[in-house]
Amino acid sequence: MLSALLADFRIIFERDPAARNWLEVLFCYPGLQALMFHRLCHWLHILGIPFIPRLISQFSRFLTGIEIHPGATIGQGVFIDHGMGVVIGETAIIGDYALIYQGVTLGGTGKECGKRHPTLGENVVVGAGAKVLGNIQLGNNVRIGAGSVVLRDVPSDCTVVGIPGRIIYRSGVRVDPLEHGRLPDSEAAVIRSLVDRIESLEQQLQDLTTKESLTVSAVHAVSSELDSLKIPVTAAPSCRVRDQVIQEFLDGAGI
C-alpha cells in the first residue's frame, strides 16, 4: 500500500505542471486524497470487514467529490486530475499509471451480478466527462476523448472518440497523455469525405450534362439543315419528345 501511495504522489509532479511542492500536493489535490482513502477502504474490504469501508468511502466522497467503491481495484501511479464527479464502480479495475479527468464514470449497465464494470489497462487516459460502461476491456495506452461514451472493448494503442465511442487506430504513433488537442475528429473527417464525394458527383454530372447539351445542339443544327434542304427527317417521334424534354430540362436548369 505504501509503495502505491508513493507512486500516486510522484506521478502528480510528472503530469501536472501546476504541482509546485509536496505540501500543496498533499493537502490540495483531491485526487490524491481520494486514492489515499481508497487504499485503506480496499484493504479493509479485502479483509471482509463490513460497513466500515463504505462509510470511509462516503466520507471521502463528501470531502473530495470523488466516489470510489471499496471493491474497485486500482493500480499504482494513478492520477485523478481535479476529480470532481468521478465515479468508479465496485468491480472496476484500473491499471498502473492511468490518467482520469473530472466527470468520468466507470460504471455498469444493469443489475447483473459478478464483474459488471470496465477493466482499464496500463497508461490509459480517460478524458473529462467520458463514460466507460459495462464489463468491457480497454487495452494498454488507450486514450478516451472527452465526453465519449464507450460501450465495447478497445484494443491497445487506440484512441476512442464520439457517442457511442468509435475506435481510431493510432498504432506506431506516440502521443503524450496530456496532448488532448491532438485527438482526431472522425465525424468531421467523414462529413468532409461525403462533401468531397458530392462535389465529385456534381462535377461528373455537370460534365455529362454539358456533353448532352452539345449533342442536342448538334442534332438541332442537323435538323435545321435538313429542313432547309426539304429532306424528310427519319427520327422517331419518341426521339423528338425525348430531345424536347432534355432541352426543357437544360433550359430550366440554366445550363
pLDDT at 180 over 50: yes
**Cβ proximity of 247 and 253 under 8 Å:** no
Task: Output the nine-digit C-alpha cell for 24.
Answer: 500543496
Q: What is d(CA 123, CA 177) in angstroms, rounded to the nearest whole number?
A: 8
Q: Select from 158, 12, 152 the least CA-distant residue to 82.
A: 12
Measured in residues, the chain has a length of: 255
Q: Percent helix, strand, coil in the chain (nearest 5)?
A: 45, 15, 40
Please report, rounded to a whole number, the percentage of residues in the chain having pLDDT higher than 70: 73
pLDDT at 190 over 70: no
Task: Output the nine-digit C-alpha cell for 151.
Answer: 460501450
Residue 87: its pLDDT value, please?
A: 93
Beta-bridged to residue 80, according to DSSP, are: 100
Q: What is the mean pLDDT of residues 158-180?
A: 67
Residue 254: its pLDDT value, please?
A: 39
pLDDT band at 251 (very low <50, low <70, confident <90, very high): very low
